[in-house]
Amino acid sequence: MALHVMEEANRCLGCKKPRCREGCPIHTNIPEVIRLLKDGKLNEAGWMLFENNPLTTVCSLVCNHEKQCEGHCIRGIKDVPVHFSVIENYISTTYANQMVKGPAPGNGRKVAIVGAGPAGLTIAVILARYGYGVTIFDSKDKIGGVMRYGIPDFRLPDAVLDDFAYRHLELKGIQFRPNTTVGGAITIDDMFRDGYQSVFVGAGLWKPRSLHIKGESLGHVAFAINYLAAPGAFRLGERVIVIGSGNSAMDCARTAIRNGAHYVTVFNRRDKIAASQYESSYARLEGVNFEMMKTPVEILEDCVVFADSEYDEEGRLHTIPGSEKRYPCTGVIVAVSQELGSSIMNSTRDIQTKSTGLLIADEDGRTSRPGVFAAGDAAHGASTVVEAVANGKRVAEAMHAYMQTLPPPEPSAYAEAPLVEAVESSVLAEQVIK
């Protein structure tokens, strides 16, 4: 592995105007990271990666490198680009074992993060570096959001996120409150009442988008976000149809094969696949079939009815009347994106939303309510992990600047009340001794 990494590193030209860095949404200083590695300074290279991108171990695995850093590599014009994804993964995973530093000195201020996805985790880490007391709230039992529950383990192992939770959250003193849906028993108003000076809303897109065709409620149908969260809970049989062609659709198709399906076909109403070439090529390699220009009409117990699609002279998509055909299947996965739930918005005063239900926020994440910030899926819709990290970095700095304008939080009126010493139960003690 190390030999292969150094071979890739030695192929880097060290461009003075690195196109790879410009192609990276978070502007990782790729030539400098590679130079440090070649000089034997692996720890310095690792520090640079994590300082710029707390989720570098994740991004090295799931980024769309072919359109970002590697897609902009000058070598790729006439040759094979430098595979920085391999280099980044080696450096970040090796250096991660050195990250044992404890929390920064506290500044007496608290911040709440709603959603443990990439944007929320990035903001939590950055604000913890400034000394804020950070609490992350999430409706799931573990951190990661769509990274854990929407990306298959064969692409992003849970162990990577578990290691992040230990080194970036536990060691830094960041608190995590799992299985907590903000907008229900706890609201954003409650958070301000309890002394949080700023709240970040980064709830993921957990509400599946429907096709709105007959048959979607049948028992052999699953929505992609639900299926990927727990594929073993579904029994879709050996012949599965996946409707949609994005990266999530590819994940569903490949996951279905790993869960016993023998025939998996992806249906797309357009003539081009929305997923990256990298992801779709893996799907084809693993035996996934593709049917293009097919629009779903109805889902039946043993098949899906599709009609042929066509573009008119103005490039608009239409179905061809009378072209409907039945395609047999034992299970169906609908993978046509997700949208934001409404619990937070319905329970929060003075916060404006778009017609799509997403929060209205400026480029620095400020919403219509002072102290409430938003980014990631909650404000911009579905985005990649690295795009969420880039947005999170910008919002974290805006939140820090905002909180520095506020007076220090007032202590509780009961902070000086007498403290009753804990008294152990003699019965419990005897039970423990026995």
Tens-digit pLDDT profile for residues 354-366: 766 677 889 899 9
Confidence of residue 375 (pLDDT cuts 50, 70, 90): confident
The span from the CA of 425 to the CA of 311, in Å, is 76
Give the residue among 3, 7, 2 at the shortest CA–CA distance from 83.
7
Confidence of residue 343 (pLDDT cuts 50, 70, 90): low
Give the residue among 127, 161, 112 at the shortest CA–CA distance from 141.
161
Main-chain dihedrals φ then ψ at residue 27, nearest 5 degrees: 55, 45
State pLDDT tens for residues 146-156. Answer: 899 999 999 99
Q: Which residues are CB-contacts of 378 (< 8 A; sequence separation ≥ 6)?
A: 115, 201, 202, 203, 204, 340, 344, 358, 359
The span from the CA of 27 to the CA of 8, in Å, is 20
Rounded average pLDDT over 94-112: 87
Confidence of residue 373 (pLDDT cuts 50, 70, 90): very high
Confidence of residue 278 (pLDDT cuts 50, 70, 90): confident
- Which is more confidently placed, 331 or 64? 331
Tokens, residue 142: 């573990």
- Could you tell me if 187 and 194 are in contact, meaning their C-beta atoms sit under 8 angstroms apart? no
Q: Is the pLDDT of residue 114 over 70?
A: yes
Tokens, residue 352: 């404006």
Q: Which residues are CB-contacts of 41 (< 8 A; sequence separation ≥ 6)?
A: none
Give the residue among 409, 359, 401 at the shortest CA–CA distance from 126.
401
Percentages (nearest 5) of helix, strand, coil residues in the chain: 40, 20, 45
Tokens, residue 218: 């049948």
DSSP single-letter state for residue 167 = I
Q: Is the pLDDT of residue 331 over 60?
A: yes
Confidence at residue 184, expressed as pLDDT on a 0 to 100 scale: 81
Confidence at residue 338, expressed as pLDDT on a 0 to 100 scale: 72
Query: What DSSP letter does each residue of 105-162 carry, written as one string?
Result: PP-S-EEEEE--SHHHHHHHHHHHHTT-EEEEE-SSSSTTTHHHHSS-TTTS-HHHHH
Largest CA-CA distance found in the chain, in angstroms, rounded: 85
Amino acid at 424: E
Rounded average pLDDT over 298-326: 95
Domains of the chain (ranges plus CATH)? 2-96 (1.10.1060.10), 110-206+339-404 (3.50.50.60), 210-336 (3.50.50.60)
Q: Which helix (H) or strand (E) holds 272?
A: none
Q: What is the pTM of this model?
A: 0.89
Q: Is the pLDDT of residue 416 over 90?
A: no
Q: Residue 315 region, left (φ>0) first, then alpha (ψ -120 to 50), else beta? A: left
State pLDDT tens for residues 207-252. Answer: 788 999 999 999 999 999 999 999 999 999 999 999 999 999 999 9
